[in-house]
Amino acid sequence: MNKNKKEIFLAIAILMSTIIGAGIFGLPYAAAQSGFLVAFVFLFLLLGVMLLLHLFYVAIVEKTNKEYQLTGYINRYLGGGAKKIIGFFIIITFYGSLLVYMIIGGDFLHIFLSQFVSISQTECSIILFIIGSIAIYFGLKIVSRWDLVINLMLIVIVIALFFWATQNIDFNNVKTINWKGSAISYGAILYSLLGIAAIPEVRRIFSNGNKSKYKKAVVIGTIIPAIIYLIFMFAIVGLAGEETTPDAVHVLGRYISGDIIVWGSLFGFLMILSSFLSLGMALKQTYVYDFNISRIKAWGLTCFVPLVLLLMGVSNFIVIIEIMGAMIGAFEGTAIILMYNKLIKPKAGIKIVGNMVILVLLSGFIYTLISVIHTVK
């Protein structure tokens, strides 16, 4: 494979490994709660939103001659006050995502290891933490070469699941609409499509002579996960309908032999670990590049906060991804569009579209918070 193709494939793999994480396993449950048709509409619309945000961010990164993470760009173009406010929410969502990865990754590892030893799910989450924190300490480049392999395997598995499931699907399960559960689908799908944290890392892959391939890699790396999500939701919801479980894995256990589930859980663990590493490295770099914190302290802040939250009993990953998706979409999306408007100075039509997206994202965040509060009550 020549250098140009290698850079494109590696860039797509890193973006996909950031986008496709624990969120994929909550999507079927979210779709079952809102109705598959509602989830399908959200997936289509939010894919458009995320493509816009990713490409806007690409333009910002390309236009800036210094390396930052998102909070660094916000500080440069929107000021220190915006950096503090938006940076606070960005870091919260980083931690929420890392916590979700520990919960789901621990669940997968527990399914696998419990066949051989007596071990709790929390202990399995701690194992993921140990492996992940060591890899984050040494850097993303140690594991990035495996991203493409893992994502190619995931694509094959999801497609195989789809063709197998079509023989057992009840199509009435995918004709449902329940707008009362729409907030779950909105937050979960938006969360699952976010790849903003990986955009600067993707840019670093390309040599000076291959900059034109940057946007192409970002578009492909954003669209492929959405296709995978659609197939996965259709297969699981078509099989189980309203009986779809929050993590989707236990649904498959009713239809697929135990050995396949056990070894599939090992693959799921490796996939989640890959996402944990990608996001963890992005947060570490945020502390280093944007807040001028030493690498050792940045590593400690990145890894140990989600561990503490896990040990405190914060473990409802569906609620976490619902809130995190709506929150990160609203604050990161708004910041990116404001920076794009200021730096790129787009034509009036593009600016209007961007401002409409800000309104949608902020409204979605408020609606999600109201829905979660109402559900808890």
pLDDT tens by residue, 204-222 = 777 665 566 788 889 999 9
């976010």: which residue's tokens?
Answer: 194
Q: What average pLDDT does this structure show over 229-238? A: 91
| pLDDT value of position 189 | 94
Whether pLDDT at 195 is above 90: no
| pLDDT value of position 138 | 82
Percent of the chain with pLDDT over 90: 34
CA pair distance 306, 312, nearest whole angstrom = 10
- Main-chain phi, psi angles of 54, to 5 degrees: -60, -45
Decide yes or no: CATH 1.10.260.40 for domain 3-376.
Answer: no
Q: How confident is the model at residue 94 (pLDDT cuts 50, 70, 90)?
A: confident
CA pair distance 44, 32, nearest whole angstrom = 17
Written as six digits, the tokens of 28 are 């079927």
Beta carbons of 97 and 19 less than 8 angstroms apart: no
Q: What count of other Cβ atoms lies within 10 Å of the Cβ of residue 46?
A: 24
pLDDT tens, residue by residue, 5-20: 777 888 888 888 778 8
pLDDT tens, residue by residue, 247-296: 777 777 666 666 677 777 888 888 888 778 878 887 888 888 878 899 99
Q: How confident is the model at residue 141 (pLDDT cuts 50, 70, 90)?
A: low
Beta carbons of 51 and 222 less than 8 angstroms apart: yes
pTM: 0.86
């997936």: which residue's tokens?
Answer: 43
Written as six digits, the tokens of 176 are 């449902």
- List the one residue out of 317, 281, 333, 272 whose CA is nearest residue 302: 281
Q: How confident is the model at residue 145 (pLDDT cuts 50, 70, 90)?
A: low
Q: Where are the domains of the chain?
A: 3-376
| pLDDT value of position 144 | 52
∠ CA 145-211-281 to the nearest 5 degrees? 40
| pLDDT value of position 354 | 93
| pLDDT value of position 212 | 67
Q: How confident is the model at residue 376 (pLDDT cuts 50, 70, 90)?
A: low
| pLDDT value of position 166 | 76
| pLDDT value of position 169 | 82
| pLDDT value of position 267 | 81
Q: How confident is the model at residue 300 (pLDDT cuts 50, 70, 90)?
A: very high
Whether pLDDT at 356 is above 60: yes
pLDDT tens, residue by residue, 96-108: 889 988 998 898 8
Tell me which of 120 and 290 has the higher pLDDT: 120
| pLDDT value of position 83 | 86
Query: Lowest mean pLDDT: which of 109-113, 138-142, 257-261?
Result: 138-142
| CA distance readout (Å), 370 to 54, 178, 356 | 28, 17, 21
pLDDT, the chain, mean = 85
């989640």: which residue's tokens?
Answer: 272
Beta carbons of 193 and 50 less than 8 angstroms apart: yes
Tell me which of 228 and 115 has the higher pLDDT: 228
Q: What average pLDDT does this structure show over 62-83? A: 87
Whether pLDDT at 336 is above 60: yes
